[in-house]
Amino acid sequence: MQQDPQTLAVRSGHKSTLLSGVVLGSLALLTSGCASMPVSGPMSPGISREAAATGAPFVLIPVDRIVLKELSGGTVDDFKPLASAQPVPQDVIHVGDMLSVTLWEFGSGLLGPMTNAQGLVGAQSATVPNQTVDQSGMIIVPFAGDIQAAGKTPRQVQAAILQALRGKADNTQALVQIVQTTDNAVTVTGDVNHPGRFPLAVSGTRLLDAVATAGGTSGKARDMLVQLTRGGEVRSLRLPTVLRDPAQNIYLKPGDLVTLDHEPQSVVVLGATNKQNEVYFGKSRLTLAEAIGNGGGLIDKQADPYGVYVIRYEKLEVAKKLRVAPLPDYLTVGDMVPVVYQVNFKSADGLLLAQSFAMRDQDLVFVSTSEAVQVGKLAGLINSVASIFKRAQYGGAYDY
């Protein structure tokens, strides 16, 4: 249907005004920067500005060899403060322990006469049935009566038995053994082959000794978390760390609880990588370079290689060593400090550092998007708007 010239002119004017407004708005967006464009996370300049601002909620640490040296000496947790210079357990009898008592006698006496094949008088023995030390700390030995056992060593109980038999028997010897103990033992439970309660050796029992006594782990050692509970204190450490560092293989104390949990370690990789996912440790140690590689590597046309970050909480004493300037007071309130490590993948040295930067369980790896990508997104938007305007002006794309 034919439109009169005046109506077409009005509509064309409205259309031109509308499209011109869209173009001008897009140009205004271009001049104001790329902050409003969609992005997968913070970009490097924004992270640096946030870290430098007053009251920053984290500490930004550029990674160099000094930082790597400090990190190599600090673990998230530590068994060494619980260590004893010497084995703690003593061969002391406790209430509830089960004892075995054996008596020997040479000649005739309490145990009766005994002759050998040649008719000569010899030695004979008798074993008292195993018995538990009662609540009063006593055991009963025939002819000797009640013997105080709790709080004494087996040798001291042997001497007490012989003292009680003095005048009743001659040439008598006694042997007292702890068959089963209660207080002088540790409990090993969790993901081990034979969980249970195990007595401590007189010479002392180390942590790995107790794990071996429990039959070893039921899963791979690299995935095991060791938790040691002593009184009201609980500490945790990865089993490979205990295996690597002999100082962590401490002597156990009576009443210790050792729990082994199968907890595979993993890190989360986000941002401008080819594969954003949770990366599990394939061995006991995972580096930043391996985590990025398992995440598919950086996206060539999107990632900012200067902006590769590792985000974690560090122990306060470790965080203090990472900075020349003192930490802000508000970050030193708790035991852990939020730290963001920055690694420069633009340089070969940065790649070498990434090969030595050890990841920890639950670390977050983030690769920021390059600012050039944002400019490219905006340029694409402007080209699209310009194309629409061109078609509308010359091709009648929007007829009313």
- Residue 25's pLDDT is 54
User: What average pLDDT does the structure give for the chain?
Assistant: 81
Pinpoint the alpha helices (H) of the chain: 5-31, 44-52, 65-72, 154-165, 207-213, 239-244, 288-294, 316-321, 348-356, 371-394
Task: Tell me, yes or no, whether 290 and 352 share the same domain.
Answer: yes
Q: How far apart are CA 143 and CA 126, in angstroms?
A: 12
Residue 386 forms part of a structural domain = no
> pLDDT tens digits, residue range 45-102?
889 999 999 889 999 999 999 999 888 865 557 888 888 766 655 678 888 889 999 9
Residue 39 forms part of a structural domain = no
Task: Tell me, yes or no, whether 274 and 243 share the same domain.
Answer: no
Residue 345 forms part of a structural domain = yes
Q: SS3 of 260, please?
A: strand
- Residue 378's pLDDT is 47
Which domain CATH number covers 365? 3.10.560.10
- Residue 111's pLDDT is 56
Q: How many residues does the chain have?
A: 400
269 forms beta bridges with: 277, 365
Last residue of a domain, one of 214, 246, 262: 262
Q: How far apart are CA 354 and CA 372, in angstroms?
A: 24
145-148 and 138-141 beta bridge pairing: antiparallel
pLDDT of residue 374 exceeding 60, the answer is: no
pLDDT band at 171 (very low <50, low <70, confident <90, very high): confident
More confident residue, 376 or 56: 56
By the 8 A CB rule, do 191 and 218 touch? yes
Task: Tell me, yes or no, whether 156 and 102 share the same domain.
Answer: yes
Which class for 272: exposed (0-12), middle (13-18), buried (19 or more C-beta within 10 A)? buried
Q: How far apart are CA 228 and CA 190, in angstroms?
A: 12
Residue 5 forms part of a structural domain = no
pLDDT band at 397 (very low <50, low <70, confident <90, very high): very low
Q: How many domains is the chain partitioned into structurally?
A: 3
Q: SS3 of 374, please?
A: helix
The alpha carbons of the chain give a radius of gyration, in whole angstroms, of 38
Which domain CATH number covers 103? 3.30.1950.10
Residue 4 forms part of a structural domain = no
- Residue 184's pLDDT is 79
> pLDDT tens digits, residue range 245-293?
999 999 998 889 999 999 999 999 999 999 888 999 988 889 999 999 9
Residue 12 forms part of a structural domain = no
Give the structural domain span for 111.
98-180
pTM exceeding the 0.85 threshold for the entire prediction = no
Q: Whose structure tokens read 């025939």?
A: 142
Q: SS3 of 310, please?
A: strand
Task: Tell me, yes or no, whether 269 and 346 share the same domain.
Answer: yes
pLDDT band at 371 (very low <50, low <70, confident <90, very high): confident
DSSP 187-234: EEEESBSS-EEEEPPTT--BHHHHHHHTT-BSS-GGGEEEEEEETTEE
For the chain, give the percent of residues with pLDDT over 90: 45
Task: Tell me, yes or no, whether 257 and 274 share the same domain.
Answer: no
pLDDT band at 295 (very low <50, low <70, confident <90, very high): confident
Which class for 216: exposed (0-12), middle (13-18), buried (19 or more C-beta within 10 A)? middle
Task: Tell me, yes or no, whether 271 and 369 share the same domain.
Answer: yes
Residue 216 forms part of a structural domain = yes
Q: How far apart are CA 285 and CA 265, in angstroms?
A: 9
Task: Tell me, yes or no, whether 277 and 358 share the same domain.
Answer: yes
Interacting residues of 163 by C-beta distance below 8 A, sequence separation 6+? none
pLDDT of residue 17 exceeding 80, the answer is: no
More confident residue, 53 or 9: 53
- Residue 400's pLDDT is 41
Task: Tell me, yes or no, whether 190 and 269 share the same domain.
Answer: no
> pLDDT tens digits, residue range 97-141?
899 999 888 765 565 555 455 444 556 778 889 999 999 999 999
Q: What is the DSSP letter of 80?
A: G
| The one-letter amino acid at 37 | M
Task: Tell me, yes or no, whether 65 and 115 share the same domain.
Answer: no
pLDDT band at 178 (very low <50, low <70, confident <90, very high): confident
Last residue of a domain, one of 161, 180, 199: 180
Task: Tell me, yes or no, whether 277 and 367 share the same domain.
Answer: yes
Q: What is the pLDDT averaged over residues 207-235?
A: 94
Interacting residues of 351 by C-beta distance below 8 A, sequence separation 6+? 289, 345
Last residue of a domain, one of 153, 180, 207: 180
Residue 217 forms part of a structural domain = yes
Nearest to 110 by CA among 165, 67, 52, 174: 165
Task: Tell me, yes or no, whether 317 and 348 share the same domain.
Answer: yes
The CB-based long-range contact list for 371-380 (8 Å cut-off, 24+ gap) reads: 371/34, 371/43, 371/45, 371/304, 373/301, 373/302, 374/34, 374/37, 374/39, 374/43, 375/34, 377/34, 377/37, 377/38, 378/29, 378/30, 378/34, 378/37
Task: Tell me, yes or no, whether 217 and 256 share the same domain.
Answer: yes
- Residue 137's pLDDT is 93
- Residue 32's pLDDT is 52
Q: How far apart are CA 337 and CA 339, in angstroms?
A: 6
